[in-house]
Amino acid sequence: MPALLIVFAAIVLLPLIYILVQYNGLVSLKNHIADAWANIDTELKRRHELIPNLVETVKGYAQHEKEVLQRVVTLRKQCIDAGSYSTQRTGAESQLDSALKQLLIVVESYPDLKADRNFLQLQEELANTENRIQAARRFYNGNVRDYRNKCESFPSNVVAGAFGFESRDYFRAADDERDVVAIGFDQDN
């Protein structure tokens, strides 16, 4: 009789335990991804709150740079309207990153603005927020990598497929964020 129980356990219980462990691991990774996305979302909202103050400060100095300022404001609204996790949201955020970089380039033309205490404080807060966003993106992408590995590796992919665990996308930089900025030195000598 004990041999029959051992055979029963080996045939029925061990695969069942394996499925439960894999399922719980997938659920855990899925929740880590949701948590990581919430961290990104928090930092993006912080950035969205800083942008109007930054734009208003720059607007006073840079009257004829309205196109750049308007683009930042428009992209900020698109990011907010895009809702939570989606490829549309990540694309809009990448475009906003580029627009903010353009805005900071415009600022270089205004020495009085660069010396303005409010602007410097806003610029520092924005830089700190951008650093936290980058850290949150790396954390998110690490969780997505682990989850995708588990969903795509055999035999855990069988459990993932059976219970409908779907792959997640990485948070990627926009193409123009990957471009290397050319720096040249004029040699008038």
| CATH, domain range 22-178 | 1.20.1440.20
Q: What is the mean pLDDT of the chain?
A: 80
Where do the H-state alpha helices sit in 62-171?
Answer: 66-81, 87-107, 111-115, 117-152, 156-162
Q: What is the pLDDT of residues 126-138, one digit of tens each?
A: 888 889 989 999 9
Domain ranges of the chain: 22-178
Lowest-confidence segment of 12-26, 62-76, 118-132 by average pLDDT: 62-76
pLDDT of residue 189 exceeding 70: no
Burial class, 105, CB count within 10 angstroms (exposed 0-12 / middle 13-18 / buried 19+): exposed
Q: What is the pLDDT of residues 111-163, one digit of tens each?
A: 776 667 777 787 888 888 889 989 999 999 999 999 999 999 998 999 999 99
Q: Which phi and psi angles does 165 have, rounded to 5°?
A: -75, 120
pLDDT of residue 184 exceeding 70: no
Exposure on the CB side of residue 9, measured as CA atoms within 13 A: 6
According to the model, what pLDDT value does residue 180 have? 41
The answer to whether the peptide bond before residue 155 is cis (omega within 30 degrees of 0) is yes
